[in-house]
Every structure is written in structure tokens, then in C-alpha cells.
Structure 1
Amino acid sequence: MKNNSKKWLSAAAGTLLAGAGLGLTYARYIEPARLVTKSYTLTSERLPDEFSGLKIVQFTDLHLGYHYSIRRLRRLVRHIQEQQADLIVFTGDFADRPIRLKWKQEIVDCLTELHAPLGKYWIFGNHDYREESEAIVAKYMKAGGFTALHNTSVLLKRQQKHIILAGIDDVIRSTPNLHAATQHSSDELFTILLAHEPDLAENVKHLPVDVQLSGHSHGGQVRIPFYGEVIVPPYGRRYPNSYYEIGSRPLHVFVSRGVGTTRMPIRFACPPEISILTLKHGQQDVKEH
């Protein structure tokens, strides 16, 4: 009986070790490369009818240089272009340590391949400021044809109607100014805000802003059933993943898991994603599909 017990325990231990090894292999090499597309449709009476059908593609948290290669960036760009977006936005963390990212024309070439009729816009993330390297990120994004929104906004025009696209600077490593970013927003103008850290929504919900697009949290990067997100950074803990409706206006907060990884080069039950938000005029409703 003792020998049988030892054999059973040995077999069980072997099975557990093999399972753990397979899980780690999947989390390290397979899931981080499984780019998915998460799509939402937001219907709002506040949106001008002229903007009905507007398709926004959001990508975020590249973390180039930290197990995210130029080859993977090329695939990402092709995938984004296939979506035929009206507007493309990047919500921060271009590189993990930008100062170590040697200038590569291939990166610029990838960014310039992205096209959208209403333009391409971006904001800083906290990693973009590491080691005072924000100028490097800005140089890449400008060369790639992206327009920066640092505590400022632009008017997007269709026919004779307008909506506002605003951007806020990073909360953790810079000086965000919500008043400056939304100074032209009002109850009459539908407003979209780009904010790297999603938990900023607690301040945004008091302002005339309709939509907030964020990243930063990576969706937790590792998610355990019945527990939830494992790796969640500051300012990404209250609203770590997917969609939230908060405040009385209400404010619609869409949080993308992003495409890269940070801290550890693994993902589990939380694949990388780009997000598509389609806006429609009509009675308020949000659908994920």
C-alpha cells in the first residue's frame, strides 16, 4: 500500500509540474501573440447625426523593446489598417524604456502606414516619461504622422457639425490639466477624452465629457477565474478592463488591455487587443460585439 501511495503521489506531482510548465509556456509564448479585436457600439442622442457610424480604432501600451518587436508592430499595423477606421488614437506607453530604444526608421515606416480620414492622435503614458525620455517618443510619433494631445483638444468636423477630441497628460509622471484639456467642451458638444490611466474617470465624470478612452492597466495581464486581475498598476485598479458607465451624465469609459506587456512578459486569460468603438446617433445604448 505504501508503494502504491508513493507512486500515486509521484504521478500526481508529475502531472502538476507538467501542467504548470504548459501553463507557463502558454502565458509566455502563446497568449501574448494572440491579438484580438474588441468592438463596442455606443449609441447616444448627444452625438450629431452627421457623426453616426464614426469608427474609432484605439491601440495602446505597445511597450516596444520589452518583448515587443518591430515584426509584431508590423502585424499590428496591418491589422489596424484592415479595420478601415475613421479615426485612430494611441493612448500611451509607446516603449517600455524609450531611452534605450535606438532610432529605427522601420518604426517610423510602420506608423506612417496608418491612415484615417479624421486623423491620428496620441497621448503620453507613464512609461514614456521614464528616464526623461519623452522627447524620443514625441519624435517617433510626430515622424509617424500622429498629432499630440497634451492637455489640449481639437475639433473634428463632419459636414457642418463638430465633436471634440481631447487628450490629458500622464497622471503618474507628468502634469495633467483637465481644465485645459476640456476648456472647449460643453453640454452642446459631444466630447471624447484620451486618458492613459483609466481611474482618472473619477475626476472626469464631473466634466462635460461623454467618452473616455484609456489603457495602462493591461486588463490585469494575468486573470485568474473567481479572483480577477493579478497585475494591476496604480490608477488602473478601479477600472481595469473593458467598459464602465459612471456618473450622472453618464461618462462612458472604455479600457483597452493594450498590445504589449510590462513587468513580466506574460499574459493569461487576458490576450492583447485593439479596441474599436463605433458611435451612432440615437437612444442611449452600449453593445459589445
Structure 2
Amino acid sequence: MIPIRLFKKKKFLVLSIILLILLVLFSYSQNNWLTTTSITIKSKELPSNFDGYKIVQLSDIHNKTFGKNQKRLVSKVKNEKPDIIFVTGDLIDARKYDEEPSLILMEQLVNIAPTYFVTGNHEWSSGKYESLEAKLLSAGVHVLRNESERLTIEEQKILLLGIDDPYGSESYVDVAITKDSLNPFADEIEQSSYTLLLAHRPELFSTYQEYGIDVTFSGHAHGGQVRLPFVGGLVAPGQGFFPNFTAGKYEENESTLVVSRGLGNSIIPQRIFNLPEVVSITLETE
């Protein structure tokens, strides 16, 4: 017979091993299980030809890979059949710079739909952005650096703006720099029936509203890193603890903000109840 004390020790050891395995599996799944979040945005101002227009947004990749040659992530994007793809900053991580995973991804995205990119803070803090930008342009990515484009469907147009992350400026004062980036487009925004903005930082939503932006697409918050039931995100850069803007759709003063939870990690290496996501947005005429 096995002594009771030895039996209890073995039982404890077996349970500890099982618990450890479950913890490792949980940790891995939280960082690697890809989800798709669907959002619908309705507006009376949206031109009728853009009714049903499909946008896929990706953000904050931070060198992350999802299968060989990004196969799982590319498949998720393809499944949405987007008309356009937005990538809202932080393709790379400045602390462990590796541009290859993101370049492999972007080279495939441009074959799915026109792909637009704006910088995040990590592009600038890496000190290697100029080289990265040249490779993105060579791959066929539309890089918007305080620039605008008109998206057109059968003569109906909407305005697309993309601004640099304010970290790229010598003077790091977020609101002032963001206003400097948007001021040249004030008349263009006013004359446009509908305006989309790509801007990395969601915490500047009130500033975007001042310019009459209809929909802003942001990332940066990493979904709050840890998502708590009935609370939301725990912490986000630029917003601190219990941030206001971490994931999904927000509406204020006739302006909408879409925040991607992102795909990768940076300073905090673990997501909890905050799976990496592809955001699929459908515009509808109300």
C-alpha cells in the first residue's frame, strides 16, 4: 500500500503539473488565438455608393507572426473580402526591432485590397523608420504622412486622411502636434461629405472631433492589455490605468472612433482576456 502522505504528495504533484500545462496553454492562446471583430457604422452623410463599403483594420503588430508567412492572419483578412485595408501603426517593436514579419504581411495585404499605413510611436522610436518606409512604398503600400486621398466609387468621393504619430516630432506635445498635422486639411474636411482619419492614438479623440472627422481609426492601447469583466481594459499607453478608449466603437459629438485591440505586445508581453484581433468595419448609409 502507498502511504497516505506519499499519495497526497503525488496527487499534489500531478495536479500542479496539470495546472502548469493549462496555464501555459492559456497564456499561449491569449497571445495567438486570432479573432475577428465586426463593426457597423451608419451615417446619413455617407455617399450612397459607399453603402456596404468594407474596411479591415490591423494595428500594433509589434513583430508578431501568425503562422508561417503570416498565413493565419492573411487568411482572416481575405475572409472579410475588404474594399480597403488600414494599418494604424506600430508594425515593429522598437525594443526588439524585426521588420521581416510585418513586411511579409504587408506584401500580401496589398494583393487583397489597397492598403494604407500610418506611423505609430514605435516606428519613430526605433530610429529606422526611413528605411522601413522605403520598403513599404516599394511593396505598394500607401503611406500617409499628414496626407489626404480621395476614395472614389463612380464619381462619389469620401476623404481619407492619415497623420504621423506625434512621437515623430522633435517637440513631443501630443495635442499641439496633432492639431498642426490636421490644420492644413480643415477646409478640405469641411468641403467633404464624409471623412475618415487614420491616427495611431485614440486618447486624442476629442481633438479629432474638433475637426469634424466622421470616423477615426486608431490602435496604440493594446486593448488595455488585460480586459476585466464589466470594467474593460486595465492599462494603456497615454491613458494610464482604466483607460477610456481601448477597443471597439465609441461615438461622441457625431464623430466615431474605432480602436483596434491590436495583434502583438510590447512592454507587457502577455494579453489576458484580450485576444489579438482583425477589425472588420462596414459603412452603411442611413
The aligned counterpart of 1:200 is: 204
- Higher relative helix content: 2
SS at match of 1:113: helix
Aligned to 2:30: 31
Tell me which of 248, 252, 259 is aligned to 1:246.
Answer: 252
The TM-score normalised by the length of structure 1 is 0.81
Give the alignment partner of residue 115 of structure 2, picking from 116, 120, 134: 120
Is residue 86 of structure 2 the alignment partner of residue 86 of structure 1? no
1:159-187 Cα deviation digits (max 9, x unpaired):
01100110111023435412135552125
1:77 aligns with one of 71, 74, 77: 74
- Count of residues in correspondence between the two structures: 269
1:161 aligns with 2:167: no
Shift in Å, 1:27 = 4.9
Aligned pairs for 1:142-153 within 5 A: 142-153=137-148
Structure 2 partner of 1:286:
none
- Aligned equivalents of 2:133 and 2:185: distance in 1? 18
* Amino acid paired to 1:139: A
Deviations 1:85-111 (A, max 9, x none): 101110000110288326x5x754542
TM-score by length of structure 2 reads 0.82
Give the SS at the match of 1:254: strand
Correspondences of 1:23-62 after superposition (within 5 Å): 24-62=23-61
Could you say what secondary structure the match of 1:140 adopts?
helix
Q: Which residue of 2 aligns with 1:265?
A: 269
Change in CA separation of 1:69 and 1:50 when aligned onto 2, cut-off 3 Å? closer
Moved more, 27-36 or 178-187: 178-187
Out of 132-141 and 187-196, give the one that drifted further: 132-141
8 Å CA contact 2:31, 2:275 repeated in 1: yes
In structure 2, C-alpha distance between the alignment counterparts of 1:192 and 1:230, rounded to whole Å:
28
Q: Which residue identity lines up with residue 247 of structure 2 in the other structure?
A: N
- Seen in structure 2, the aligned counterparts of structure 1 residues 200 and 22 have a Cα distance that, compared at 3 Å, is farther
Q: Which residue of 2 aligns with 1:4?
A: none
Identity, in percent, stands at 30
**How much has 1:41 moved relative to structure 2?**
1.1
Aligned counterpart, 2:5 = none
Equivalent residue runs for 1:100-139 within 5 Å: 100-101=97-98, 104=100, 108-115=103-110, 119-139=114-134
Q: Which amino acid aligns with 2:252?
A: I
Letter in 2 for 1:31: Q
Q: Which of residues 211, 214, 217 in structure 2 aligns to 1:210?
A: 214
Note closer, same or farther for the CA distance 1:19–1:195 as it changes in structure 2 (3 Å cut).
Answer: farther
Distance 1:107 1:225, change over 3 A: closer
Q: CA deviation at 1:114?
A: 1.9
Distance 1:83 1:47 in 2: 21
Deviation at 1:269, TM superposition (A): 0.6
Give the Cα–Cα distance (whole angstroms) in 1 for the partners of residues 222 and 69 of structure 2: 17
CA 1:203/1:86 → structure 2, altered by over 3 Å: closer, same or farther? same
Structure 1 pair 240–108 and aligned structure 2 pair: CA distance change class (3 A): closer
Matched residues in 2 for 1:129 and 1:279: separation?
A: 31
* Counterpart Cα distance in 1 of 2:73 and 2:53: 21
Give the whole-Å Cα distance in 2 for the aligned partners of 1:19 and 1:169: 47
Structure 1: any 5+ residue segments left out of the alignment? Answer: 1-7, 283-289
Q: Are the equivalent residues in 1 in contact too, given 2:47–2:285 (CA < 8 A)?
A: yes
CA distance in 1, matches of 2:26, 2:138: 34
